[in-house]
Amino acid sequence: MSVQGKTALVTGGSRGIGSAIAKRLAADGAIVAITYAGNTAAADATVAAIESAGGTAFAFQADAADPASQRAGVEQAAAALGGIDILVHNAGVAEFSSIAEDTDETYDRQFGVNVKGLHVGTRAALPHLRNGGRIILIGSISGEMAFPATTVYSATKAAVAALARGWAKDLAFRNILVNTVQPGPIDTDMNPADSDFAGQVLQAIPLGRYGKVEEIAGAVAFLAGPDASYITGTTLNIDGGATA
């Protein structure tokens, strides 16, 4: 029970990778709060799964792209949890388009959720984050390598890694450790393993398969736990060898 007695806020915890992270941290002993954009049924299902396994969880609707909503979600979560030890910024969106198809709206939506949401959310969480806490950002290997028609998304994820490096230095004086987990292709609603895109992407994966959400949750659990006490400002690629 590596995070026994700790509290964790996972943004975008209703589905996919975020739901798996919430369940894993709860299984490892943390009390968990999740936020979600609009899928109340999925958020309730994540909470129910945690509770049926004997854990404690809360869910709050909070749009990461809307600063007031994001701040309110963090405040509600911090109140329910009684302070935050582990903050996981997982909420993210991807819109697949080439530079010829990109619009101001697709740019703003992706940077709004994937980058500004982290900046707003971390500032809101700081007064509630205990010294010695952890901030874990879910970036992407797209921040380091190009895939077809994902340039704006890639730019947001390069920014995510930059935020973690900077915050690691800004918050070291409080022993708050900040790292980025960069998944490769993981089978979720965002990136189903049976799509045409998957067919192209698989050629870049030495292990020859999509990853599972639990394989990302395991890395997050490691970075949230005591064995990661000297790791800050780094990126951990979980990608079947894609960036090797």
Contact residues: ligand NDP, CB under 6 A? 11-18, 35-39, 42, 62-65, 90-94, 113, 138, 140, 183, 185-186, 188-191
14 or 232: whose CB is closer to ligand NDP?
A: 14
Out of 36, 107, 153, 230, pick the active-site residue. 153
Both ends of the chain: CA-CA distance in Å?
32
Residue 36 or 167: the one with the smaller Cβ distance to ligand NDP is 36
Residue 4 beta carbon to ligand NDP: minimum distance, rounded to whole angstroms: 25
Q: Any catalytic annotation for residue 107?
A: no
The tokens for 161 are: 């890694």
Nearest distance from C-beta of residue 14 to ligand NDP, angstroms: 4
Distance of alpha carbon 221 from alpha carbon 27, whole angstroms: 10
Shortest Cβ 82–ligand NDP spacing (Å): 23
Q: Write phi, then psi, for 22 (nearest 5 degrees).
A: -60, -45
Q: Name the residue nearer to ligand NDP (CB basis): 132 or 192.
A: 192
CB 26 within 8 A of CB 57: yes
Q: Which residues contact 102 (CB under 8 A, 6 or more apart)?
A: 151, 152
- Which CB, 172 or 190, lies closer to ligand NDP? 190
> Is the CB of residue 37 less than 8 Å from the CB of residue 15?
no
Q: If we measure between CA atoms, which residue out of 127, 161, 140 comes closest to residue 234?
A: 161
Pairing relation of β-strands 84-89 and 129-138? parallel
Q: Least separation, in Å, of the C-beta of 112 and ligand NDP?
A: 7
Give the catalytic positions in this structure: 153
